Amino acid sequence: MDLLDPSLQRYLDLGGIFVFAISGALLAVRKNFDVFGIAVLAFATGLGGGIFRDLVIGAVPAAFSDPGYFLTPLVTTVMVVFLHPELGRIDRAVQVFDAAGLGFFCVVGTVKAHEYGLGTVGSAALGLATAAGGGVVRDVLANEVPSLLRRDREVYAVPAIVGASAVALLLRFDALNNWTMSAAALTAFVIRLLALRFNWRAPRAWSRGGAGDTGASEGVG
Amino acid sequence: MDLLDPSLQRYLDLGGIFVFAISGALLAVRKNFDVFGIAVLAFATGLGGGIFRDLVIGAVPAAFSDPGYFLTPLVTTVMVVFLHPELGRIDRAVQVFDAAGLGFFCVVGTVKAHEYGLGTVGSAALGLATAAGGGVVRDVLANEVPSLLRRDREVYAVPAIVGASAVALLLRFDALNNWTMSAAALTAFVIRLLALRFNWRAPRAWSRGGAGDTGASEGVG
Amino acid sequence: MDLLDPSLQRYLDLGGIFVFAISGALLAVRKNFDVFGIAVLAFATGLGGGIFRDLVIGAVPAAFSDPGYFLTPLVTTVMVVFLHPELGRIDRAVQVFDAAGLGFFCVVGTVKAHEYGLGTVGSAALGLATAAGGGVVRDVLANEVPSLLRRDREVYAVPAIVGASAVALLLRFDALNNWTMSAAALTAFVIRLLALRFNWRAPRAWSRGGAGDTGASEGVG
């Protein structure tokens, strides 16, 4: 039943938590929150997606049962509190880490949902929610419109959908192994990097004969 | 134990999801979100209340285990992306559908909570949360004050409370059948339509000797 | 296994719900919400932290299974609707009650998490989330930045961390009894009162050579 070597799953999870927690903590610094605000956003961003996934499948969230899941955002908070000017300067590096976290989380989330008995569509949907959930919680707490929803941010949903669907299909056809799984994570990671590099935006709602800025002719589908 | 014919319960649920998803997707169009933003708000509004209910009673949310629950908001998203000018023009029709969804959800939510062992008060409260939850999630994600809370929106809570309480009492006195249940859903539906038609507002907090706009003399109780 | 006399645990819980519900209802009055908005914020603030805790540990939230948990915020709502000018004038008293609720909740939350099998770190973290969760839900629903995160509010996290950690350590070393538990709750309560009295703020992120208002030299650690 263990599709992922449990310790590999744990390290992928912790890696994703680390990079997501950095993005939460940096947003808190930009919003001028105090150190507890930084810590809360680091924890919420790093752990939010996984807690939601575990509540849905009925597992006790690892965030509360494995001290490693607690220590990772704590270490991140300390790092960001003292190093945020450097981290801010390497914004591009943070985005690369965040893309890596996206790859980790949509794979781990889909696999864990499948292990708990969800079907192909349900597993992919929960993998997607795991990958995107932390960022949504981060933005809601910071009282901003989630970047996931916004037209002026590079597409986040496409790489997560591709990665989670690929894993769900591999599970369906019994073709998931360490190689295909890594390929799925890598695909999500690369698509996200391309979206950032080439500034891909998703189209808006279709507007009949709509010239001007309601048009949906640009962007990826 | 199955108080509702399971397939009837499923169709009522899907009907409610459909109409709530439309309201979420239309709000996303108005806020100028991209197609993924429209999809996320459609899913969150349609499925949010039911996911909360299922987490509370310890069921795996149907949203992740039954592909129909996934396809409904997806179809809604496609519809709204291509037809939103027409749907916007039939705003009144959408409100009628939304009132129907309110009726479905407060009945289904109360019955399902009772099936999982909650008492009369708990079942009614969870039915109310099921009916109102999706709209709250929608407004929080869109970074707006939930219309459920606002004084300048027609009352939403009263029809939901009436419908959910009626079903909980029918369950208590063992008088729930397809007829009484339909009557409860219909009552919630009609009260909501009347609130929309006659612009019913709920009073604010009572203000001693308060002339002027802090007065609570108008509105339904 | 019952570390707290169940009826004592229930009364502490209800006391915390009562004072938190008052803070939610008063915020709703200040935001000019209608009576249902007042009720929703009273319920969400009073019950939010405990519902989150119970979802994590896999218990059916007491909020939906024990009518007392439902009646307390209801009574609070009625009180606030009719008495809010008096309550507003006794703002200081409300803050004292809220500090008492903080003490109750971080103790009860930590103990309940431990009873359900969480470890020392996990129990303390969940106790903290129980104490702080209601206020976060309140502020998110009211579309404000949670005071937990804000630099311009007196520290809330420190007393909750101290109280929850103290209880978790007492559990670890098998030294929890009614006396030590009361001492932990009292400590959290007193620290919060001192923070309010002396206007303690938490530092912000560290800023190298940072003179001016980005400095983190003031405040508690």
DSSP code string of chain B? ---S-HHHHHHHHHHHHHHHHHHHHHHHHHTT-BHHHHHHHHHHHHHHHHHHHHHHHTPPPHHHH-HHHHHHHHHHHHHHHHHHHHHHHTHHHHHHHHHHHHHHHHHHHHHHHHHTT--HHHHHHHHHHHHHHHHHHHHHHTTS--GGG-TTS---HHHHHHHHHHHHHHHHTT---HHHHHHHHHHHHHHHHHHHHTT----B---TT--GGG---SS--
Residues from chain A that touch C209, judged by Cβ atoms under 8 A, are none
Question: At a CB cut-off of 8 Å and minimum separation 6, what does B103 contact?
Answer: B159, B163, B185, B186, B187, B188, B189, B192
CB-closest option in C33, C60, C70 to B151: C33
Computed over every residue of chain A, the mean pLDDT equals: 84
Place of tokens 């996931």: A148
Q: Where are the domains of chain A?
A: 6-201
How would residue A90 be classed by pLDDT, with cut points 50, 70 and 90? Answer: low
- pLDDT tens digits along B13-64: 888 899 899 889 988 888 889 899 999 999 999 999 999 999 999 888 988 8
Residue C215 pLDDT exceeds 70: no
- What pLDDT sits at residue A2? 55
> Mind listing the pLDDT tens digit for each residue in B131-163?
999 989 999 999 988 888 887 777 888 999 999
| DSSP helix/strand/coil, A79 | helix
- ipTM value > 0.85: no
Please name the residue that has the structure tokens 């099921």. Answer: B130
| Chain B neighbors of A207, CB-CB under 8 A | 85
**0.90 cut: is pTM over it?**
no
Share of chain C above pLDDT 70, in %: 87
Contact C35 B118 (CB under 8 A): no
Residue A181 tokens read as: 């799984």
3-class SS of residue A199: coil
- Whether residue C121 and residue A67 make contact (CB cut-off 8 A), yes or no, is yes
Provide the pLDDT for residue B67.
Answer: 86
Q: Tell me what pLDDT residue B218 has.
A: 38
**CB-nearest partner of B64 from A122, A144, A157:** A122
Residue found under tokens 């969870």: B126
Q: How does pLDDT run across C19-29, given as a tens digit for each residue?
A: 899 889 988 88
Of the two residues A9 and B195, the one the predictor is more confident about is B195
pLDDT tens digits along A130-176: 999 998 999 999 998 888 888 777 788 899 999 999 999 999 999 88
| Residues A84 and A26: beta-carbon distance below 8 Å | yes
Q: How confident is the model at residue A212 (pLDDT cuts 50, 70, 90)?
A: very low
- The predicted pLDDT at position C219 comes to 38
Query: Residues of B near C (CB-CB distance < 8 A)?
Result: 55-58, 113, 117-119, 121-122, 125-126, 136, 140, 143-146, 148-151, 155-158, 201-208, 216, 219
Contact A148, A157 (CB under 8 A): yes
Of the given ranges (A53-57, A61-65, B215-219), which has the lowest mean pLDDT? B215-219
Tens of pLDDT, residues C50-109: 999 999 998 889 888 888 899 999 999 999 888 877 766 666 766 787 888 889 899 999
Is A189 exposed, middle or buried, given 0-12, 13-18 or 19+ CB atoms closer than 10 A? buried
User: Does position B127 have pLDDT exceeding 90, yes or no?
Assistant: yes
pLDDT confidence of residue C188: 94
Q: How far is CA B64 from the centre of its chain?
A: 19
The C-alpha of B86 sits at a distance from chain C's nearest C-alpha, in angstroms, of 31
* SS3 track for A149-198: HCCCCCCCHHHHHHHHHHHHHHHHCCCCCHHHHHHHHHHHHHHHHHHHHC
Q: Helix crossing, C120-141 with C91-115: angle to 10°? A: 140
Report the chain A residue with the minimal C-alpha distance to residue C221.
Answer: A35
Taking CB atoms and an 8 Å limit, are C33 and B150 in contact across chains?
yes
**Number of B–C residue contacts, CB under 8 Å:** 89
SS3 C134: helix
